[in-house]
Structure 1
């Protein structure tokens, strides 16, 4: 699959990669993470990093499905320095990952994407492109979700990274979707790895880049089925992380992240 759409994370099959991807030599790369909350587009951005740099990314999770799908750095020991970045979904100060690319997506959309991943397999047979049904969203598994707990986890990840003292590159998912070339420029500069990635632009962003995506069209808003008071904690952590980003990097999260709960 040559095609990665900037809408959602999907598996990238190596049979039709846009270029040759390889592992680095042992100790070649610093222990940099690609950290994000689940459902924030980590798999898609990993694919883009691999295509732009020519090197495989790794993970702290060792996901067999992603390995079989083409992410051949998935089983590597990320402490060996052979993968250019390492996927992580939690911040742990004792983990030997220092600098980080922080991929931030609107948490409301991230929670929804993760719910689709878990519940959409039965629709398409693929947890990367499936979508939960109306019945799923009307069921207690959605309406009784503890959004406060997920908000705390989302907050702890990004606040931990921002307050760690290590070098951070915040990447806003919505900006990545709108202009992936510009955001990938930031990432390759942060990684200090230059390759002839411009030759891959047509493959990555041309007319063939519209397949294998989870449809974002839906006739209803799943959050309409949730009492507003259950979502107040989500708005609160968005404000806190936006304030921290402003203090540490001079940027803020998009105002569209906040939901009108009145």
Structure 2
């Protein structure tokens, strides 16, 4: 009986070893195939990448900054669970001259911060010191601006720019959508999930909502008029374009920040575009004809100034609804 037992043991052992080898080979093959597919996709992306910065330098003319990592500070690994991308960390820097990251609320500022951190490897800061943002992973949120350790600084007010020589990244979104998103946000502000929650549809029929629209559209306007007229070094980011092709737009941002793009990081970013705190796109039409006309007049005014600075006009917001 011993011989048959040894034979059965031998067969089982052989099958186990063969299975391990087969699994290993399959895994390696899958990684190679997957890597090649990413490479092909990246080549397709590169063919259409364009920069809409006000400074249209060619790659040969670019002078990149050499930033130093502050190794005494914390690190963040946005993609720690991804085998191919887990090595990429986000760090604090030393003696960084940060740019402003200005937008009206609910225009993609926090998501843009994620894209910048992921692509550059440096934390972004903020004037707001939000505990929720830091809890979500933005470790530069409450880092004092005077320490010069972050690559951009979030703000929702043009007042931050007055008296400052910092360059400015300006995120602009369809005001009709920004206002709806901000209304939802304000009506759920006590919830950590307020980025994703919606206000009741009935709230859009109230006097409070229409007063909110009148007031906030003027704030939206003033948020952009000042930097468009006064910022000496400016880069405009259209939120709708950022959503349609994030990697193309982040290339333009890196160029404006004078940071050399890391192609491997960008490939990983292409796999993890969502990030955190990217709000939902709500489908609702709450505006009166008078409000729609006010949106049109405001956008027309913005486009005149954009043209005077050499920037393209805002996207046709009618494509995206509401106006």
Report TM bin, short chain.
0.7 to 0.9
TM-score under structure 2 normalisation? 0.66
- Number of the residue aligned with 1:42: 109
- Number of the residue aligned with 2:229: 163
2:162 to 94, 118, 125: 94
**Cα distance, 1:230–1:134 mapped onto 2, change above 3 Å:** same
Matched, 1:20 2:89: yes
What is the total number of aligned residue pairs between the two structures?
Answer: 239
Which has more radius of gyration? 2
Structure-2 separation of matches of 1:60 and 1:141:
29
Structure-2 separation of matches of 1:134 and 1:59:
32
Q: Secondary structure at the match of 1:237?
A: helix
Matching of residues 49-64 of structure 1 within 5 Å: 49-64=116-131
Structure-1 separation of matches of 2:193 and 2:265:
27
2:288 to 227, 241, 248: 227
* Preserved contact between residue 238 and residue 257 of structure 1 (Cα < 8 Å): no
Matched, 1:242 2:303: yes
- Number of the residue aligned with 1:252: 313
Q: Secondary structure at the match of 1:170?
A: strand
2:140 to 65, 73, 88: 73
Q: Name which of structure 1's ranges 47-56 and 108-117 shifts more when overlaid on structure 2.
A: 108-117
TM-score under structure 1 normalisation? 0.80
Higher helix share: 2
Matching of residues 182-201 of structure 1 within 5 Å: 182-196=248-262, 198-201=263-266
Structure-1 separation of matches of 2:252 and 2:154:
18
- Give the drift of 1:49: 0.3
5+ residue gaps in structure 2? 1-75, 80-84
- Number of the residue aligned with 1:204: 269
2:173 to 96, 105, 111: 105
**Cα distance, 1:237–1:121 mapped onto 2, change above 3 Å:** same
- C-alpha deviations, 1:107-151, integer Å up to 9, x for none? 1111111112222468x8501121222233234432x33423222
Matched, 1:180 2:246: yes
Q: Name which of structure 1's ranges 203-212 and 144-153 shifts more when overlaid on structure 2.
A: 203-212
